Chain A
Amino acid sequence: MGRLRAGDAGRFLLLVLGAGVIAFPFVWMLLSSFKSNTEISLSPPTFLPATWHLDNYKTVWTSPPSTFGKYYLNSVILATGGAVLQTMAAVLAAYGFAQMEFPGRRFLFIAFLVTMMIPAEVTLIPNFVTIRHIPFVGGNDWTGSGGRGLYDSYVGMILPSAGSAFAVFFLRQAFLNLPPDYWDAARLDGCGRFRYLWLIALPLVRPAVATMIVFAAFQYWNQLLWPLVITNSESLRPVQVAILYFQSEVDSHFNLVLAAATLSMLPGLALYFLAQRHFNEALAFSGIKG
């Protein structure tokens, strides 16, 4: 018993140490966000702020051209819209790959997975050209010329990442765990594919779907280059662009950058804690380890 307790204590200590190592950068970010820009550059550094500069947050909120709140709202719109669209597309594709038999299924799935190896930078220009030349939108004619297409719009920011190979792979793993008997039984009762997916399959893979929504929301929330490239209006740009306003090659206000980063992290943290139960279940379910 005593040996067990000692083992537990050791494991607990190890976990606390691990948690400390992971939490330290965030604690450092939070504390530094209250420092002055001079104090943040001190060498050796200080841990606690000499003076707590709460006004850093006020400066961050009011400084960027559209005020930080507007960028924040844009990020919420992107993350919500993007997560919903990406998850919907992924659910349909993943269900098809996992539960339906059709010619070329394996080849198509591998082709999907291969796209995960293509860096986002490579697809930047093709995506830009596609978004600007979508027919009948943004002043474009049927050939996709004459206007701006979906350039400088929320949809333009969301669309290219709506098809995610990782999301399809992740959800396919979840759907593969559903016994085929469920579908056979549902079919005997006259259930169609969409009805089965909506009423039976989806509730059974809910943890995986919830996790995918969190992943997708994070992905959209953290995007910088694509929103910067596909927009011109400050009123549309997300929070990651707003953070850029506080840094430059020779004139960075790192205290403000960290205050902005702290603010930008809050919704992600809240979302994670809300979905934490599903998140853990899904990771165990799919066999994917973080």
Chain B
Amino acid sequence: MQRLRWCVSLVALALLACGTSSPETSSTSPIPAQLSGPVTIEYWYPYSSTVGKAVTTAVNNFNQQQAGKIKVNAVFQGTFDQQLAKIRAAAAGGGLPQVATVRESDITQFDKSGLVSLLDPYVKDAKQGVNSQQLSDIYPGVLGRTKLGVWNNRTLAWPMGNTAAAWFYNIDLMNKAGIQNPPATWDELVAAGKTIKSTTGQPAWNFRADQAGPWFINALWTYGVPWLSADGTTTNFDNKAALDVLRIFRQMVDDGTIAVSSTADNDFMSGRGAMLLASSGNIVKFSQQITAFKWGVTILPHHASAKPITEMFGSVNTMFKGTADQQLAAWMFMKYMASSDTQSQFSADAGYFPSTKSSDKSTVLQNAYSQIPQFKAAVQSIAPFMQLLPQSAALDQVRNRIATDDVTLVLLKKLSPEDGQKKLKLEADQAIKQASA
């Protein structure tokens, strides 16, 4: 009897060990003309606090509109990384949602595993698709993040929430130094920095040490030089512009006009610095917490001969493979989330940039603008210029580790700008080679 029990246990264990869930469908299901009946779909999102509330408001509105037809169960799944861990687990064990709000780099991984559904047929569908007017209403940068080169220009995402690198400035402190407008170019920043330092004793730029890589790559982009070559095989860190950026950073350190610290945001909020490069998602927080001085926000400085540009952050929605009905319901939900009305409300609630140009004129966003004037300035001066960084499997490693480490060494005067550039180029190119091997 005991032996029999052992055998049964062993067989059960072996079955468990072998049992992996197969994908629900092997390919994208055909698009039905309409839903065959009521559908319930699951939606995972990684937002809490104010943004999380804005998401649930949008989902509740959708559920009300689609009562009796589609029900979306929205489930909070922690941070982006925690949600990614759960999606990986669900991909292996079953239980993937129909829609999730994720980062583009996450989708690249899901696509390799054949988990996500192609959206092009839905976008182009005569009945359920998006017409040319609706498409042209979406900001070019936002539309660009739905169809990336690393995805072979297939549409695997649809707009959700957008923030961007933004240049915050302390109006009172700058006026005290006799400066009326934020610097439009890097040369103006260097000059303004000296004036601010000499007249107020405060640094011009509160620079977050852990963002040294991202901000270097952004500054390089404002010279018209993306961090990655067009074919994606090498970095452009050997470009003269990269050396110019490092020299500017170093000069500002030598001038004492840049303050590198891990508490740069708090230093700026406390009035201990004139300018800060940070995510535009901070606008609502700053509007609540900065009461001692006037502040503004605009696009970051750029090279005199290049067009303004800034890195877009935020997230997109993606669809996981399911039945035809589930996928259609998922697409209708994604389309709703990216619509002008929803984007207006979501932006007003969350402080994110809308995906659609027409949202700027909506009543709900106008009301938000009247409460936070800086939000209006940000949407109008930054949103048209936001772009997703060229994508690569090595982006995270290059931006957040290699570039952050090497640029920090230049800022700390441990490396000259020339040596920093060489080290950065060498290490970043190696990372790209390893990632593509």
B-binding residues in A (CB < 8 A): 37-38, 41-43, 65, 121, 124-125, 128-135, 143-145, 148, 151, 224-225, 228-229, 232, 234, 241, 244-253
Contact = CB atoms under 8 A, between A and B. Distances in A.
Contacts of B434: none
B269 interface: yes
Contacts of A232: 42, 73, 75
A134 B12 CA distance: 9
Interface residues of B, number: 45
Interface in B234-293: 263, 266-267, 269-270, 272, 279, 281-282, 284-285, 288-289, 291
Nearest to B268: A43
Most buried by B among A121, A124, A128, A131: A128
A16 B161 CA distance: 51
A206 B114 CA distance: 54
B16 A144 contact: yes
A250 B282 contact: yes
B86 A229 contact: yes
Nearest to B56: A65
A229 B82 CA distance: 8
B47 interface: yes
A50 B280 CA distance: 29
B52 A245 contact: yes
A75 B126 CA distance: 50
Contact of B19 (A121, A145, A250): A145
9 contacts: A37-B288, A128-B93, A129-B19, A129-B92, A145-B19, A229-B82, A245-B52, A251-B51, A251-B284
B353 to A, nearest CB: 13
B88 interface: yes
Interface string B77-117: 11100100110111011110000000000000000000000
A228 B77 contact: yes
Given A43-B263, A244-B78, A251-B51, A151 B95 contact: yes
B137 to A, nearest CB: 26
Most buried by B among A42, A129, A134, A145: A129
Contacts of B133: none
Contacts, number: 112
Contacts of B90: 128
Contacts of B134: none
A144 B18 CA distance: 11
B180 interface: no
B85 A124 contact: yes
* Interface secondary structure of A, over-half rule: loop
Contact of B15 (A121, A144, A252): A144
Interface of B: 12, 15-16, 19-21, 42, 47-52, 73, 75-79, 82, 85-86, 88-90, 92-95, 163, 263, 266-267, 269-270, 272, 279, 281-282, 284-285, 288-289, 291, 351
B166 to A, nearest CB: 11
Contacts of A131: 93
Given A129-B20, A250-B163, A43 B266 contact: yes
A248 to B, nearest CB: 4
Contacts of A244: 48, 76, 78-79
A250 B161 CA distance: 13
A241 B299 CA distance: 36
A129 B48 contact: no
Nearest to A241: B78
A228 B267 CA distance: 34
B281 A132 contact: no
A124 B75 contact: no
Contacts of B88: 125
Given A42-B266, A43-B267, A128-B90, 10 more contacts: A37-B288, A41-B270, A125-B93, A129-B92, A145-B19, A225-B82, A245-B49, A248-B51, A249-B79, A251-B51
Contact of A248 (B47, B77, B86): B47
A72 to B, nearest CB: 18
A229 B42 CA distance: 15
A250 B12 contact: no
Contacts of A250: 163, 279, 281-282, 285
B49 A251 contact: yes
